[in-house]
Amino acid sequence: QKLKGKFIVLYSGNQGRMHDFDTLLSAANYLKSDDQILFLFIGDGPQNSKIKEFTKLNSLKNIKTLPYQPFEKLPETLTAADIAVVSTSKNVTSLVAPSKLYGHLASATPVALISSKNSYIRFMIEKNNCGKWFANGDFKSLSKWIIELKVNRDLIKKISSSSRKLSEKISNPEDIA
C-alpha cells in the first residue's frame, strides 16, 4: 500500500558482488527531494547490508528494501516497477549474464542498464528501444532519465511495448526448443 502513487525504480534479485549498486544508490541520493520516486530493492545478497547502510547513513526516505518474495508473487513484483534496473560492475560485464532482464522484458518494463559500454545487453536494449544504458558511475544521466520517464507516460508506454515485443520475439517456444 505504501507503494501506491509512487514512481518505482526496481532492483529485484540477487544483490551480489558483481552488481553495481553505487550508481543506483547515488541516483537515489541525488533524487531524494522528489518524494514521488521510490527506489525499491527486493532480494538479498552480499551487498544488501551496503544498501541498508547507505540508506541509513544518508537518511534516505526514497529507498525501500524487501526480502526475496515468494516465487508466486514474482509477476506482481516485477509489474509494480515503472523502471527496472539491471546492473553489472564495470570489470565483470563480460562475465555476467543477468537473467533478470528477461523477466523485466516479459513484464513490459523499461530497463535501465548500468554496465560497461561493451555489454551485450546494451546493444540489445538500444537496438530494440527497451530502455537505456548508463555507464558505471553516471548517476546524473540515470537520474535525468528517471525524471524524464516519470513525467512522460507516453514514452514509458512506447518503451514498455518495445520491451514486451522483444520478450515475445526471443522467448517463443520454437526458438527455445
Give the residue from 176, 84, 154 showing the smallest Cα distance to 125.
84
- CB-based contact 9:35 (threshold 8 Å): no
DSSP state of 18: T
Least confident range from 90-99, 120-129, 136-145: namely 90-99
Q: pLDDT by residue (tens digit) across 149-164?
A: 999 999 999 999 999 9
Q: How far apart are CA 80 and CA 109, in angstroms?
A: 9
DSSP state of 42: E
More confident residue, 173 or 69: 69
99 band by pLDDT with thresholds 50, 70 and 90: confident
- pTM of full prediction above 0.85: yes
Q: If you average pLDDT over residues 20-42, what whole number do you get?
A: 97
Three-class DSSP category at 40: strand
Q: How far apart are CA 136 and CA 116, in angstroms?
A: 6
Q: How far apart are CA 100 and CA 86, in angstroms?
A: 7
Integer-rounded Cα Rg, in Å, for the chain is: 15
Q: pLDDT by residue (tens digit) across 38-54?
A: 999 999 999 999 999 99
Q: If you average pLDDT over residues 109-133, what whole number do you get?
A: 94
Give the residue from 97, 96, 120, 105 showing the smallest Cα distance to 171.
105
